[in-house]
Structure 1
Amino acid sequence: MNICLSIVVPTYQHPAALLLCLKALLVQSFDKNKYEIIVVSDGPDMATHQIVFDLIKSRPETPIITFCYLPYKKGRDAARNLGWQMAKGELVAFIDDDHVATADWAESFWMEHLKHEHESIVFIGNVNTSRVSLLDTSKNEVQPISASNCASTKTTLSKIKGFDEDFSRSWGDQNALHFKMLTSNVPFIQVEGATSFNAVRDVNWGINIWQSRQHVYKSKLFRSSSESIPWINYTIMTLLFAFTFVAWFWDLNPFALIALATWFLMVILLTIKRMENIIPSFTNIVEMMATSMFLPFLSIYWSLSSTFKLRILHLSRNKKKYESYFNSSDGIPASA
């Protein structure tokens, strides 16, 4: 069997979503004898292992499906790296476990690869959300490159040294992929037919704190973010809260009450600002109010703690090139 295309699916404890993803990959228009599916769990996961095993057992005529896992949780980029290093195909495509590919997804990547067979290129698919969740997705940041739907040859992946495993959080994979491509002078090509639908998961309580952490981390790394982080307001709010306790300790109760009232007013204003892109409901308002109380302190902490970890990238000679890419209007790297 001559495997031309390897499909790598990083996953971890999302068996239901993974099953939908795999079912779509098993009915691709691409020749079933010429592609394989490699499911890589980001750590031991018996439920996922069972899902894959049952699928192989029930459909023996389907393309080769391989399951492997990392010894401990290291992040999706680490799972992707293990997957492409195991791949037998000339071209390696990546899709996340919560994505459902269209029937011609694999075929589209392969046909585009044949046009540029001897070039170092990253092929980027289109990601569409299947429904609107708590956040108004029409106002969310649009990334021209996503590691959740892309493809490249093993030669190119070796050239850029794979995915950056330092970015263990899910937000960073597409941004790290940007940086890898630019520092290695690897362009990308958008493949219109390679479309996947992202099944937006239900938004849990406090998810806005998590998302804010992602934006803070990204802005520290790349000095570029679609979200303007109000550092001055956050600092003032933190100092007011700290002053409240100091004033109470020294029995300066009037000053403590003034500081606390000012802090609470700023919390209300921050909540109103953060509610601009949120579907209004009692639950959402209460959540925004609660998380807004902690957000300034956590943002400052995350910013300071990430400075040391990311200092090397701050000083990278490619920093200006990266910033010019993010500030461009068309979002196309200079090397493309």
Structure 2
Amino acid sequence: MGVSDNVKGLILAVASSVFIGSSFILKKKGLKRAGAAGIRAGVGGYTYLLEPLWWAGMVTMIVGEVANFVAYVYSPAVLVTPLGALSIIISAVLAHFMLRERLQKMGIVGCVSCVVGSVVIVIHAPQEHTPSSVQEIWTLATQPAFLIYAAATLSIVLALILHFEPRYGQENVLIFLGICSLMGSLTVVSIKAIGIAIKLTLEGVSQMAYPQTWFFLTVAVICVVTQLNYLNKALDTFSAAIVSPVYYVMFTTLTIIASAIMFKDWSGQNVSSIASEICGFITVLSGTIILHATKEQEPPPAQGTVTWYISGDSIKSFEDEHLITICNSDVLEQ
């Protein structure tokens, strides 16, 4: 008995999360090493390009993204997309041990919530119904329900770009992330269509001659470029601690909606299974928000504290420096 498509997609999605979560740690360690030996990336340095750890992180991330791409071919978005939260857990746990970024108790609760929610989703996930050709996918993409969703999405994106971004883009994080998430939902369904076309082609049924294949590829490229552009704007304007959870919630929600409309992921499922998936999804979202909200922040220096940084080399990292601190301001006044 062969392995079902859902199991293949599940394995690929989990593997993707492991690779992507690990890549953040590898890249961060590489950046720290590069910053200790030269100009930091945050101030325009590029010495990290000579750091093997950074490249290891990049390769790991690429492997993870490829695995995630293939996972969409075998499993519905309602299963694959929420499992992306596992990469946050992997990153948080590895950061606790490798980067000494303390994982607080509520952060552990967030991790557990993500795992529990993911398990619930996996148990109740619908079976994937793989279309037999790109033409069949095109039929799904041109059904009235999805055309309405696509038209509404593009209309909202245009309104956000032309009207709201110039006025409120620097004040409201939902403007940039709304554009990212809406375009991201179209990215996922397009990539899924491309992945299925590649899979069928490798199985001997070439889909390259169909114009629909190239249409989906064009849409995917446009959506990805737009998505990355506005995600970078969001990260440059707002704190990553705000951007990450909000983007995850919006992107995941809209992706599941888009996929459910186009590919009818929930077709044939009973109400209890759908309700369980939604509850699992909400649990994952809650865990993600808790995990981001409880990230340890460096406490500000106490009032009246004087700190000397004694180091023979001003480029040394913070951990290498020796600190001498006078904490009582009354002593200074005497």
Q: TM-score range by the shorter chain?
A: under 0.3
Task: Return the structure number with greater helix share.
Answer: 2
Q: TM-score, normalised by structure 1?
A: 0.23
Higher relative contact order (CA 8 A, sep 6+): 2
TM-score by length of 2: 0.23
**Larger strand share, 1 or 2:** 1
